Structure 1
Amino acid sequence: MKSDPKDCLYCTNNETLHNLMIEIATLEVSRVFLFKEQTYRGRCLVAYKDHVNDLFELSDEERNAFMKDVTRVTRAMDKVFHPEKINYGAYSDKLSHLHFHLAPKYVDGPDYGGTFRMNPGEVYLSDEEYADMVAKMKAAL
């Protein structure tokens, strides 16, 4: 299902987006967010700058630039949070704006060895903790 940019939370930069995530940075062709729900400590999202429905719609150059941004974010996540592995999710059944969920996984952490849950609703942090994570990610980017 293709979504209309007028209804897209990434394009409208609306309250729903800001209730779910904190914007960390703007990169070459994308925006980076920290999920407020932190079951997977350090979970981020990278959203393409323009309203594109799917990865295959990008030119080779655009796709390479987007994947360069995704890689840049995962390198920063690795440096800041030291996960065992980072899971990548590119779901867009209901919101077809190109974005990747980046969920760090830890050996003794939730769902290690399985698929991360979209919004477990289990771990929320203080404003100070979010600010610290965002500052560390900004410095690592």
Structure 2
Amino acid sequence: MSLSMDWKKDRIASAHRGENPMVLAKMRSGFAVMGDTQFLPGYCVLLPSVKVNSLNELDYKQRSEYLLDMSIIGDAIQEVCSPRRVNYSIYGNTDVYLHAHIFPRYDWEPEERIPKPVWLYTEDHWFDCKYHFSVEQHGEMKQRLSQKLNEIIKNAY
């Protein structure tokens, strides 16, 4: 990962400039990126091409493309990570711009976590460095997700 974390100040603009090290693929509606935390390996985020506050600010064609791209990321996660299922969510409460979370869910998760949203995982899962994306630990998975995404995109569009 880049020594400078300036790309985090504006993740969308840095993706357009080719400076966001988390980018997996350029998609019709935006950018597929790795999630900052990887306690559920394969967690990704879809950033839109244009910064808007919500899905409703996009026209119908843009919304359709965004939601299709979100599901395509899920397809890639399923192929590469073999989760039990994939969860999709759009909130915008903390980072107040449109972005979609795509979380793989696994059979190996603690039984009490399986029926609950990922947001109920303890705070350390979100902030402890041992769960943060690192090239050393997650680089191969990132490369495989990127390859699978680009393969799917070529056939889907």
- 1:120 positional shift: 5.3
Cα 1:102/1:50, change in 2 over 3 Å: same
Q: Does 1:119 align with 2:126?
A: yes
CA RMSD, aligned part only? Answer: 2.5
Deviation at 1:125, TM superposition (A): 5.7
Give 1:126 shift: 4.8
Q: Is the 8 A contact 1:39 1:120 kept in 2?
A: no
**Number of aligned residue pairs:** 131
Alpha-carbon distance between aligned partners in 2 of 1:82 and 1:135, rounded to the nearest angstrom: 16
CA distance in structure 2 between the aligned counterparts of 1:43 and 1:98, rounded to whole angstroms: 17
Check the 8 A contact 2:12/2:47 in 1, yes or no: no
Give the match for residue 54 of structure 2.
54
Q: Which residue matches 2:148?
A: 140
Is the 8 Å Cα contact of residues 42 and 104 (structure 2) preserved in structure 1? yes
Distance (whole Å) between structure 1 residues aligned to residue 133 and residue 29 of structure 2: 29
Contact map agreement 1:45 1:101 (CA 8 A) in 2? yes
| Higher RCO (Cα < 8 Å, 6 or more apart) | 1
Could you tell me whether the CA contact under 8 Å between 1:33 and 1:46 is conserved in 2? yes
Asked whether the equivalents of residues 53 and 96 of structure 2 are also in contact (C-alpha less than 8 Å), the reply is yes
Please give the residue correspondences for 1:64-79 in structure 2 after superposition, counting only pairs within 5 Å.
Answer: 64-79=64-79
State the secondary structure of the residue aligned to 2:117.
coil
1:86-125 aligned at under 5 Å gives the runs: 86-110=86-110, 111-117=113-119, 119=126, 121=128, 122-124=130-132
* CA distance in structure 2 between the aligned counterparts of 1:96 and 1:51, rounded to whole angstroms: 10
**Structure richer in strand, relative to its length:** 1
Unaligned runs of 5+ in 2: 1-8, 120-124, 150-157
The structure whose residues are more often helix, as a share, is: 2
TM-score for the superposition, normalised by structure 1: 0.80
Question: Residues 61 and 10 of structure 1: is their aligned pair in 2 closer, same or farther, counting only changes over 3 Å?
Answer: same
Question: Does the 8 A contact of 1:74 with 1:102 survive in 2?
Answer: yes
Task: Give the share of equivalent positions with the same residue, in percent.
Answer: 21
Q: TM-score, normalised by structure 2?
A: 0.72
Q: Structure 1 unaligned segments of length 5 or more: list them.
A: 1-7
